[in-house]
Structure 1
Amino acid sequence: MKKILLRALWILVLFPLTSWASHIVGGEIEFYPTNRSANRFYIGLNFYFDQANGRTGAETSTVILYFYRKSDNAPMGNIELPQTARKLINYTNPTCSNANTDLRTLLLRYSSEIVINTQNFNDPKGYYIVWERCCRNNIITNITNPASTGETFYTEFPALVQDNLPYVNSSPKFGELKGDYICLNRPFVFDFSGTDADGDSLVYSLSKPWAGYAGPNNPEPIARGASSYPEVNWAPGITNQNMIPGPRPLTINRQTGVLSVTADQAGLYVFAVLVEEYRKGVKIGATRREFQLKAVDCPLNRTPVALYRETGKRAFYKEGETLTIKKDQAKCLDIMLTDGDPNQRLSIKTVGINFDDKSVVANPVSFITTSATDTLKAQICFEKCVESRNNQPVILEVIVSDDGCPQPLTDTLRIRVFIEGSTNNNPDVTTDLSNNRATIPQGTTLNFKVTGIDLDNDDLVLEAKGRDFQLTAAGMTFSNATGKGSVTQPFTWTPPCNATNREYIVDFIVTDVACNKQVKDTVSVRLQSTAKPNNAPDVSTSLTGRQPIDVPLPSVDAEVLGFDVFGDDLDKTDQLKLYAQPKGFTLAQYGMKFSDKTGVPRLASRFEWEPTCAQYTELSGKELTLNFITEDNSCGPIKTDTVAVVLRFGDLPSIESLDKNIPNVITPNNDGKNDCFFLESLSVATCGPQFLQVDIYSRWGKLIFTSTDRKFKWCAEGVPTGQYYYGLKFTDRTFKGTMTVIK
């Protein structure tokens, strides 16, 4: 990415004298923002180069453009641009170009994307970009000493920041010019216009070309900042008013940028056009653009002729006459073409004066004459819908052009023809619904087809409209359709719940849209819906046995409390809703799991709960009631069914009675009776007092057995008969006592 050096010191660059040569034809500078960011800009120089008369060494790989401030001509920086394109421009007639080998023009484009600190470009009077180069091609007719005269390329642009905001503006963009020749004593036009990306107004005017300060000894100087630049010197007899002399000297249309001239002197003429840019009536920029046109004494070229003669008549059609095409006749005219020059390519173009010229077709559109006496024929046909309106004839221009050198000649035949309108039969629309009536129960579906036909095979549009209702709101489906000659579309109705107790009238309309003359036909159907019988739903569970359901104590091996709930309905297409309704509490309050369900039968959802000790403690000795409800949401009053599930909570376990059940004597003789010391009635619940540890000691205080397993057993292995001491530790207390071992 190149970056412009703002307020930089100029560095003198020395160019060798061999760079001088006569080669300049014209060109312009373009400058506009890119769409990538606010400070990135495209800058380009379009340079037209005379390859036939210019020296090869005059073409450079780079150019340096200079930025200045308008208010005081202070330098703002410069940018070196590389050559990015090189091509020969096309001439209107390549044959003519080959016959005039002294014109061979290159378009050299130098361009780059640059980054600018826009805050430095905020002067209200704006800025300009300039580049100077010498010298012009030495065959120019209308200026003196062209081989030693330079050209100044110049464009102005407004401040890039205004009122502390970015000011977006693009200089005019110009298309690639085509080479052309002016035939002496013949009118000539040349499009020299540009476009503006911002929609600003462009105003064109002729301007005397600028020579600038470049010369043979300094062909590409550092461009000076100036309010104006030296101009070229006109040749004798040439002024700003006749840059190209003749009975109609060179002029330009201020709005369109189209050049016009009728020249009477052969030569190569240079001219400049000033393109000024206006926004809301205020001038914000300007671009100077130069080019050259050559006036030549063209070879004799006879004008082609277009003729028409009605069938059965000897005289040719004369402009102003009115032909008639009846509605049962083909809408075609046979046009005859002649040209006094052999080997000419003739081209046909049709223009509708008071109708759309896209509605007329020529065949063929081009010919090649083989002799001066050839008569060629083209058929001009109007499309079906072209006809006279308001009792006025259709006006058509047939334009025939040759490919004469250097400019084509044309002849225009204007024909008036009264075309009678064609007959348009009415279309017809029908349905395959019996008697165009139907009554159906809610929840069922009605289907039938609608067909539109037209005997004229015209384009048809088929649509449906409900009288005082929208089709979709009433559960009806129909898509508008189009066809040629015939069209068929299905209609579907599934009555919703609110569709009873009224009649629906649907109008089906087929429209024949031939030639913008709409002809319609309508068929109406009458539809009604009746309520269907509705059975009550049913709700049940997978629980067996009597209620209430005893909720087990939380324990290490307790299972999750769970069961399935089912919602059913004999009417298998009804929409059901299954949900839980706890009595006096919520599911989330106790962490119970149950998902509501919606759909057609059969619905199923599982209830699961694993109560905590805290919850069991809270609910000990109480009951919870869960109501499970299924709703039938089909048409008519909502019907429901309910099943209740009652959960009962027992008392928490206690160890108060444990002291009475601790053994005080064991007889480890393997008779299966009282062989070991253990706790037979210890609860497995995780709620209430929890077993922690058992310790057994000898009479001398020696620990001989310990365990944290609630299922412990001590069978006095390896100890003699005697008295021993035990300690049973629980979360809330410890039991201590003695036992006797008898062997």
Structure 2
Amino acid sequence: MKRYLLLLVLVVVAFPSLASHIVGGEFEIRYISANRYEVRLILYFDLQNGNPGAQDDFVNARIFRKRDNAFMQDVFLPLDSISRVSYTQPECSNGEIQTNKLIYKTQVTFSNSQYGDAQGYYIVWERCCRNYNSKGLLNIISEEPPPGVIDYPNAAGQTFYLEFPPVVKNGEPFVNSTPRLFPPLNDYACPNKFYYADFAGSDVDGDSLVYTLVTPFNTHTAEAIPSGGPSPAPYPLVTWRSPFSLTNIIGGSPDLKISTDGLLTVTPKTQGLYVFAVKCEEYRKGVKLGEVRRDFQMLVVDACPQADPPQILGKKLADASFTYDETMNVTFSNTVTDANRCIEVQVSDPDALKSSDNFMENVTIKAIPIGFKKDISGILPAITSVTLTASAPTKTFRICFDECPYIEGPYTVGIVAFDDACSLPYFDTLRVLVNITPPVNHNPYYSTADITKTVTEGSPVQKWLIKAVDEDGDKMNQVIIPGIGVDLASAGMSFKSLGQVGDTLFTELTWDPRCDVFNFTNRTNFDIALQVEDEDQCAFNHPDRMKVNLTIQLPGNSKPLISSPELTNNSTLIDTVNLERKVNQSLIFHVNGKDLDKDKLVLTGAGKNFSMADYSISFPQDVDYENVSSLFTWNIRCDNVDLDVKDEFTFHFLVADNENKCRFLYYDTLVVNVKLMPPDNTEPQLFVSSVNPAIALSLNNSMVVTLGQQIDLSLNGIDPDTYPEADMLQLKLLSATGNVQPEGYTFTGAEGRGTVQSPFTWKPECNIFTNGQYENDYIFTFLVTDDRCFNGKGDTVEVNIKIKDIDGSDTEFLPPNFVSPNGDLKNDYFAMMKRDATTGELLNILPLDNCAGHFEGITIYNRWGKEVFASADREFKWYAIGEASGVYYYLVKYSDKEYKGVVTVSYWDDESQAQR
């Protein structure tokens, strides 16, 4: 006889205080209504050894899109409840394991627009740490990180992870709640004892769940809670400690395994604490919707007392003894009474004969379906538990079956006997193959053939009588199943039940095919299925189906046509026109629509991805019968376009006929693509002229200026463009350069529409000359620009100015040398003058003052060196009155040089002897 020990789920154990408290957990998302969902995080907390400070008051989870790991939103989940995880057999516990179940939850709205990606989404939370190896975790590397170290490779945290589908598919709402996993039970395992647990969860949507063992996720860092929040996928895996791996999780024989339907099995070999993870994948109609992960910790400890499993044997009612061990087959015809549709089982347990167990053992029987899912507890007697003793070491139970089998055909049930061994019960199973012939029943069927019909629109109301028959006279139930997208009421269709008379159910199908009353704009063909089922005694499902396929033939309608006399030459065959226009031009054309049926037409125009009103474009809508027309007007100006932002414009013009008899939308379109280019522009011109007539400006805009002359220039700009208005001109000095940087000039930039003018003035001083250089060259560059949008132009003028110092040369300097102060009015005084031969005007002959040097004064000495005259006036006159005849010496002093000479004073005048 095969004997097994039932392993119920193992979640446990000891963690150090530094936040090493995580036993396991998972996410759940539950549909509420519309787009509202409840998001839950379930966390299992080591109550005995965990740090109470690591019990978080809230969780900040994060949602990403699977396709590209794009961030969607953060989800704040406050702590909602705390409860203790219960034991399978509390009396077996010595306090080795105490686990709390923490539930964090909130409600979130997942909008269609944000959560419609076909590849779905995932929600995550990262938390560190699992308990460390120093405390007994054997199969993965988990070390406490040093203080302050975040990127510690040997730390082992947990990433809680759940994938979920979009909330809308193919434009329709897609409702789904994620699986709810079986709650873990806080029990331990023992070495060399076989365990198994029914780990199957549940799904409220009826989706299929598939289970696999996976390597647990780690966290990206060793932070208790990553400061930057959860990171997107991929997630690191924990590191298995040799020799452990995904195929050798706890070193069992056989090792830990899980079936696709959730049966977890293991025979541990070595005491210790082990971590493992289970992935549950959710499928609907063969398509994967998502997955959820739960991590566990299993404690293997040699704490199981010696015990023997119970034994269960079976017999048929007519048998003399219990001879069936492990399996038995029974067959019952549909004529067997309820009292005789039974078997008997006998339960015994060797532990009831042991003094160590006080000659008592508690035994319970349970019925489990094998290969199908039904509640079969009804086959058991009212009392299913008994205490076996040395004086009464066996107990007999009668198992009776209903006349209707749980499934059609033979089915197998397991009658399991459990004892109360620690930590989990021992059991023995009797597999019973049951073959029951159900009561006779005839399946219902449609006596009316499938209906396929095409009806012309406007025909009289159509009616069909549909009959369904059940030869047993059972009550029949019928459902109408419209095809995808079929709305019966809007299509003028109805099904009316006329009731069941005897063995026949009557239904009337009515169709009113008038398109001006009912809506056929979405479809003209309608497929409908009718399904009938009877309420037979055993409620087996054998429905019959009938097909109805109806088509409406709608009246013809001419499609409206659109054209433009300017763009398409009134051709209705042209549907796209490409144009080019420049800014400051206009685009004007008519758009016409016509309908041969003389239906009401609506003519509209719109910009593709822009509003025509934003660009001052006019195209009034026109509504009329048979013919419509509207004028498109666009005066393209700088103030309503920006070619740097948009220079290509697409216009869609549509003429629609949607008020025809059947309300179908018939339309024709004209697409006009316009490429905008910069406007034409003639460049402005800049002119310069000299206002000071003493200074000439050459043809190449050059001038030579002697220091002391004032430079007066007039800068004038003119622009020939006047449409749609004259350009605004801007005049400015672009640059001023020279071998010495020019200073002291005056010029102010100016603006003007069409013309602009501004003066340039400069009277240089000696400070322009430096380093003994007294001739400077300058270049002044002036610029005039216009403001024609996207095509601005300009003109420049260079003015070359050479500035020289005043000529202070002395090549013509020949002072007089004779004075005759005798009163004859001839040579009466000594001065630096000479008479102009032409005009007779007295002219000063001293060298001119300039920036290099200037006259400071003259001093005259007698022959003994005595100063007899001094003056600082260039126009001095020495009359020498009272001075003796003879030779005198003079000194003319400039700031940079001196002139010396002699002058003779004589009181007689003999011009023939005088030296000039």
| TM-score with structure 2 setting the length | 0.38
Bigger radius of gyration among the two = 2
Higher relative contact order (Cα pairs below 8 Å, separated by 6+ residues):
1
Q: Please give the TM-score of this superposition, normalised by the length of structure 1.
A: 0.47
